Structure 1
Amino acid sequence: MTSLSRRSLLRGSVAAAGLLSLAACRSAAESGDGAAASAGPRRGGTLSLATTIDYTPSLLFAQSANTLVQRLVFNTLTRYDDQLRPQPELATSWQPAADGRSITFKLRDDVLFHDGRKFTADDVIFAVKNLQNPVRSAQLRSTAATVTEFRKNGDHELTLELAHPVSNLFDLFEFMIITDSATVEDAVAGKQLIGTGPFRYGKRTPGSSITFTRNEKYWNPGRPYLDGVEIRVIPQADSLVSSLKTGQSHLSYHVPGKDLAGLKGSGQFQLRPYDTGSGAYYIGVNVSAEQVKDKRVRQAISWAVDRERLVQQALGGYGLPSAAPWPKSSPAYSDANATHYRHDPAKARELLKEAGVSGLTLPFAHSNTPDGTAIAQILQHDLKQVGIETELQPTDSPTMQKQLISQTMPALWTLSHGFAQLHPATLAVSAYPFNEAKNSSHFSSPGYTDIVQRAWKRPDSDSAEAKALYQQVTDTLLDEAFVIDLAIGGQIEVAGTKVHGATLNKFNYLNLDDAYLTV
């Protein structure tokens, strides 16, 4: 999309009615809900969703492994469709300034918080300031921080003044949940959640479950269809799969790759791969560790790994082997970047020899989830073939997230990252592994900072000039190899045949506005 067409799109006054169902952002390669859905939505029932990872209240405002709660309880200003075109949610229309230095929103006037209080422009102001607070560890804090002034015109019109144009402003509005200012500290402490969303917070049993009930005063007419939602925490992969097979759980986004083919072949489940690229798998390298300071060692690691095998064996064949972070939908994607590093153990050994490295043993942290463990074991094998021994350190997901934020990772770790599925500059100013100002790898470079800042401060994201900057960002990532991308994959939705209408947004927030269960 040209910057002109993008501006025309953003300036359009878009009515919310009739667009809400289109705005739900699911990019599923397989979407047939089956004949059971032909009778139309059915009201009632409680959806049971199984996950391997417990909800962590302190990470409510960060993109993390537990993003199932955000869109159940809260709303955002806007939400993307599958082409990254913003659609209305709590904002009904918007008007950016021609110079990209401000944007004016008109807001819904029929929205109530769960405690009965009316939603107003003040709540948007609080949401922006909340993400500007470094305590929240929000990856899009730098984008929120570009908002320097707020001008209200009544309770339901608001202008945001920006310090400079940014190419990813609507990424912020997709990410930023609108929370209740009076209870926000209770929210991050796990005591209560009050929002404007389709479900009200019920009860949480840490390590076991969290429940939600229908918001009877939801602003979206007739929604939600479900009476409630239960998120069940089942850390053991076999137990999670069993709960799906027996019908105790209706839906999961955390089925290990090795089990996907069997579930698909059973005829009892619908598998829907999201092609948003929101779950890219990578090796992170702490460049402050003496053994990996030489970029030739890091490049050797990238040549050593067999990305094709990893996708087939650990991810069940769902994913794109890639040495670069970008999904095919990104303006930063190219085949040449994706295949820059191939599986070449001889090349890896040659680079290690050039660097004067032998007998290398490195600590290697990984998530203790089934997929995390499978990926780490495959990578451990590949690295051993070129003479790099690793000591695996299985770690729970909340701890790894805190280590990412605090930059206390060991020499190597493997996780998944998001943010490449959005406007490309967002990755390098927001994601903990890539952030040009302060990243988990302790990598810094004036050149990297310069190109990232120039890409970010553009008013457009898809012009020839912008794409040239993205290529420079990618060149730096591939050369310096402080983040070694392995495969691009999205979430895989595994749903029983009774489940219809569940969607994820670009940040994997679960949207159940239109979800329902058939008998």
Structure 2
Amino acid sequence: MKSTSLKVAAVSAGLLLLAGCTAGGSNGSGGEGGSTDILKIGQIGDVSSWDPAQAHVGHALMPYQVVYDSLLRREPDGTLVPMLATDWSYDDSRTVLTVDLRDDVTFSDGTPFNAEAVKANLDHFKGANGRQAVQLTQYQSTTVVDDDTVQIALVQPDPAMEYYLSQAAGLMASPAAIAGGSLETTPVGSGPYVFDTANSVRDSQAVFTAREGYWDPSLQKFSGVELRNLEELSARVNAILSGQVDFTTLDAKSAAQVEGAKLAVIPDYQVDWTGTSILDRAGQLVPALGDVRVRQAMNYAVDRETLLQELQLGYGTATSQVFGPDSSAYVSDLENRYPYDPAKAKQLLAEAGYADGFDLTLPVISAFSTQVTAIAQQLGDVGIRVTQETVPGPDYVANIVQGRYPAFNFNLAQTETWVAINQLVSPTATFNPFDTTSPELEALLAKVQSGGADADAAAQDVNRYVTDNAWFLPLYRIDQIAAYDPTALSVQAQVQMAIPSIYNFAPAK
């Protein structure tokens, strides 16, 4: 796993001073060097439910980490290390995971953390059918061996299970709070901070105070945390420039907007890839898409580098593959598998019997209208006539997973290999609504799932298979841009997370 550094917009302390205080200065702890006492983060959207069984991933995971510990913790480079679990190992079948637990932890309501608590949480997560229910697809049961040991039984091997135990499925809440049904509005965990109900306002801000006697003070770096809901990009820009927040995410245009404010940019940090997923690979809705030459022609027809400059102002990396550099499936030779070559695209279309092109309908929501329009123009140049059909935002993903469209545009995470496979590639994957597969692919997936010595090589072959067969039309990996005041705050990137883990923030030294 490669270490990844964060691409951040470091807003000058001088600008924050113009607003009347340094970041965190309103807490009376600013002082020379801009140190901050309360961490204030501007986030996109509030947490819909504080029940960890409803937790999400990516940028939406960090809020849960404020109040909940997980069984395992991911280091910034993705390495898994102990947290509430001290040790873990599989049996030879890789279907029973034995986990040793800390015996010195309590939840903030006084309930002890122990093996029974782990069982209660995993069973609750499995039964709640939350946003990340897929994480426990292979989960069968938890057996309490003793107070600080559990055995987690799986239906079949899951190479991502340890990863999931550092994510939503591994978040541990008080069993008493689970039983009481109060977690949706009032989180109760064993984490570094405690929810401040009196000062929190739904859809506005969530306030947390440092928990006294927290078992790992090295992870508790602030006296409090404030998560401020700033859905509008302009609100986040104004908040970071005025010092109302210490950290927030931006986009390419807003980064350019604040460059005049002495924006500093440091090395690349990429979370998502963006482009078109070609779903109808058997040609059920659009017969032309059933021919691999047509799908390859679409890839050759698109000028990725130009679109990267026009749509993302160069903040990203053009690519022909959907697996990122932090994945074991990544293959460097596939980066430019489909160079821009409209003549080649026309040749392939003619060979497939579509010299006059064909008609293709793409669903569109506002967030991707510019991208779809740009792709439609370039596909049109080789004879592929794209019709854009506007879809209500809330219905977009539902329509996709129900197989109502032959292709769609979206930003999708470059995550752990098996997680990405189950999102994009496997016959039961979320974004494989037509259940596309083949004996060759199934054999490769079985090798990846086994976790054996050849799993990484098989994962790369999976990547080659879907890329050569043009299952997708990737455009580029998107640079994640975030802003913070470096005189007040130190931030480490977290691989595959737009907003880093809460443990990666610290007052500047």
TM-score by length of 1: 0.77
Instruction: Tell me what 2:18 maps to.
Output: none
Cα–Cα, structure 1 residues 29 and 340, in superposed 2: closer, same or farther, change >3 Å?
A: same
CA–CA separation in structure 2 for the residues paired with 1:86 and 1:483: 30
Q: What is the CA-CA distance between 1:458 and the residue it aligns to?
A: 2.0
SS at match of 1:504: coil
Q: What is the CA-CA distance between 1:89 and the residue it aligns to?
A: 1.5
Structure 1 gap segments, 5+ residues each: 2-24
Cα–Cα, structure 1 residues 31 and 128, in superposed 2: closer, same or farther, change >3 Å?
A: farther
Superposed counterparts of 1:466-477, under 5 Å: 466-477=455-466
CA–CA separation in structure 2 for the residues paired with 1:64 and 1:401: 17
Q: What is the CA-CA distance between 1:452 and the residue it aligns to?
A: 4.8
Q: What is the CA-CA distance between 1:225 and the residue it aligns to?
A: 0.7
Q: What is the CA-CA distance between 1:149 and the residue it aligns to?
A: 4.3
Instruction: Tell me what 1:19 maps to.
Output: none
Instruction: Tell me what 1:500 maps to.
Output: 490
Superposed counterparts of 1:230-309, under 5 Å: 230-235=227-232, 237-253=233-249, 255-264=250-259, 266-268=261-263, 273-275=268-270, 278-287=271-280, 288-290=284-286, 293-295=289-291, 296-309=293-306
From 422, 427, 441, give the equivalent of 1:436: 427
CA–CA separation in structure 1 for the residues paired with 2:374 and 2:437: 31
CA–CA separation in structure 2 for the residues paired with 1:303 and 1:199: 51
Q: What is the CA-CA distance between 1:517 and the residue it aligns to?
A: 5.1
Asked whether the equivalents of residues 326 and 488 of structure 1 are also in contact (C-alpha less than 8 Å), the reply is no
Q: Deviations over 1:353-405 (max 9, x none)?
A: 43436352413324x44xx4543343233233333223163654x6545555x
Cα–Cα, structure 1 residues 501 and 256, in superposed 2: closer, same or farther, change >3 Å?
A: closer
Cα–Cα, structure 1 residues 332 and 64, in superposed 2: closer, same or farther, change >3 Å?
A: closer
Cα–Cα, structure 1 residues 502 and 74, in superposed 2: closer, same or farther, change >3 Å?
A: farther
Q: What is the CA-CA distance between 1:87 and the residue it aligns to?
A: 0.9
Superposed counterparts of 1:97-496, under 5 Å: 97-98=91-92, 100-133=94-127, 135-138=129-132, 140-141=134-135, 144-175=136-167, 176-180=169-173, 181=175, 183=177, 190-202=184-196, 208-217=203-212, 218-221=214-217, 223-235=220-232, 237-253=233-249, 255-264=250-259, 266-268=261-263, 273-275=268-270, 278-287=271-280, 288-290=284-286, 293-295=289-291, 296-353=293-350, 354-356=352-354, 358=357, 360-366=359-365, 368-369=366-367, 372-387=368-383, 388-391=385-388, 393=390, 396=393, 399-403=395-399, 406-407=401-402, 410-418=405-413, 420-422=414-416, 424-429=417-422, 431=423, 433-440=424-431, 441-447=433-439, 450-460=442-452, 463=453, 465-489=454-478, 491-496=480-485
Q: Deviations over 1:124-145 (max 9, x none)?
A: 223433454482242643xx34
**What RMSD, in angstroms, separates the aligned Cα atoms of the two structures?**
3.9
SS at match of 2:152: strand
Instruction: Tell me what 1:6 maps to.
Output: none
Instruction: Tell me what 2:25 maps to.
Output: none
Cα–Cα, structure 1 residues 105 and 413, in superposed 2: closer, same or farther, change >3 Å?
A: same
Asked whether the equivalents of residues 503 and 512 of structure 1 are also in contact (C-alpha less than 8 Å), the reply is no
Asked whether the equivalents of residues 403 and 434 of structure 2 are also in contact (C-alpha less than 8 Å), the reply is no
TM-score by length of 2: 0.79
CA–CA separation in structure 1 for the residues paired with 2:181 and 2:473: 35
Cα–Cα, structure 1 residues 330 and 26, in superposed 2: closer, same or farther, change >3 Å?
A: closer
Q: What is the CA-CA distance between 1:494 and the residue it aligns to?
A: 1.9
SS at match of 1:457: helix
CA–CA separation in structure 2 for the residues paired with 1:192 and 1:435: 37
Asked whether the equivalents of residues 152 and 158 of structure 1 are also in contact (C-alpha less than 8 Å), the reply is yes
Instruction: Tell me what 1:511 maps to.
Output: 501
Q: What is the CA-CA distance between 1:165 and the residue it aligns to?
A: 4.0
Counterpart of 2:208, as a letter, is: T
Cα–Cα, structure 1 residues 111 and 378, in superposed 2: closer, same or farther, change >3 Å?
A: farther
Percent identity (aligned): 18
Superposed counterparts of 1:60-75, under 5 Å: 60-63=54-57, 66-75=60-69
Structure 2 gap segments, 5+ residues each: 14-21, 23-29
Counterpart of 2:191, as a letter, is: G
Asked whether the equivalents of residues 285 and 292 of structure 1 are also in contact (C-alpha less than 8 Å), the reply is no
Give the greater-gyration-radius structure (CA).
2
Count of matched residue pairs: 476
CA–CA separation in structure 1 for the residues paired with 2:391 and 2:470: 23
CA–CA separation in structure 2 for the residues paired with 1:500 and 1:114: 28
Asked whether the equivalents of residues 103 and 160 of structure 1 are also in contact (C-alpha less than 8 Å), the reply is yes
Q: What is the CA-CA distance between 1:264 and the residue it aligns to?
A: 4.7
Cα–Cα, structure 1 residues 355 and 112, in superposed 2: closer, same or farther, change >3 Å?
A: farther
